Amino acid sequence: MNSDSTSPRRRLDPYTRRRLYLRLGQVIMLAGAVMAVVHWLTHLEAFGPEQPPLLIDLAIGYPMAALLLILGGVVASRKPKADKR
């Protein structure tokens, strides 16, 4: 008996997996871009005169946005491994 025929999970073909990685990477990059814009607007005092605390400013501002942009690019450019059937 073939173990694949009894498995409840269906394997995705390489094209579908590639598109899934691409869209997931784009969503992560979009989150990084939104974080960078919100951080920039916070420094321009668009949301009020208060500035974020130093730790949040250093750890969650531009560095996290850059990390998300890079991570999204890596995920979006990932190619699925070939199936060994």
DSSP character string of 20-80:
HHHHHHHHHHHHHHHHHHHHHHHHTTTT-SPPPPHHHHHHTSHHHHHHHHHHHHHHHT--P
Three-class SS state of 2: coil
Q: Look at residue 82 in the predicted model and tell me its pLDDT.
A: 66
Q: Which domain holds residue 64?
A: 30-77
Rounded CA-CA distance 18/10 in Å is 16
Q: Is residue 47 part of a domain?
A: yes
Total count of domains within the chain? 1
Q: What is the pTM of this model?
A: 0.75
Q: Is residue 57 part of a domain?
A: yes
Tens-digit pLDDT string for the chain (85 aa):
455 555 567 888 888 889 999 999 999 999 999 999 988 888 888 888 887 777 777 777 889 999 999 999 999 998 777 666 5
Distant-in-sequence, close-in-space partners of 61: CB < 8 Å, separation ≥ 6 = 35, 39, 52
Q: Look at residue 43 in the predicted model and tell me its pLDDT.
A: 83
Q: Is residue 15 part of a domain?
A: no
Tokens of 37: 């814009």
